[in-house]
A = this chain, B = another copy of it.
Amino acid sequence: MAEGSGRKRTTSEPRLHGEMLATSLLAFLKGCNAYGYQLTQQLSDSGLPQSDSGTVYRALRQLEGSGFVSSFWDTSDQGPARRMYSLTAAGELFLRTWIEALNRYQEVLTGALAGFDTTLASEDEGTEEETP
């Protein structure tokens, strides 16, 4: 159906990306700080559509560029260094604003499925199926 963007030519299930990926990451960071690899796994366990790890890393860098998260290198534990992210005040504000817009969006969708009978002036009918 031509989703968000990017290379879609191959196979597979839908992937999480774009604003929905970005806001999901912000939501996870509201709970506690985290790093990219961890967030990728949390997304996998969340019941949301899967998302590519490369896309997650790039989304985090973009969120940082927008000032919605901040990061620092964490070398306290063993293993490769981790870039830890935390939510900023601007990021939390953005998340709240987004949720409000999301509520309107959900009203539109569920309102449609509710089968509202307010037909709103639709007397179109009896038309043919041709292309000129």
Asked whether A66 lies within 8 Å of B120 as measured between CB atoms, the reply is no
Interface of A toward B, CB cutoff 8 Å? 1-6, 17-20, 22-24, 26-28, 30-33, 45-49, 59, 62-63, 65-66, 68, 72-76, 81, 84, 94-96, 98-99, 101-102, 104-106, 108-113, 116, 118-120, 122-124, 126-132
Extra contacts besides A28-B112, A74-B127 (16): CB < 8 Å: A1-B22, A1-B66, A2-B66, A4-B17, A4-B19, A19-B20, A20-B105, A24-B105, A27-B113, A72-B130, A74-B124, A76-B127, A84-B124, A84-B127, A95-B112, A99-B109
Known interface pairs A28-B112, A31-B119, A76-B127. Does A104 touch B48 (Cβ–Cβ under 8 Å)?
A: yes
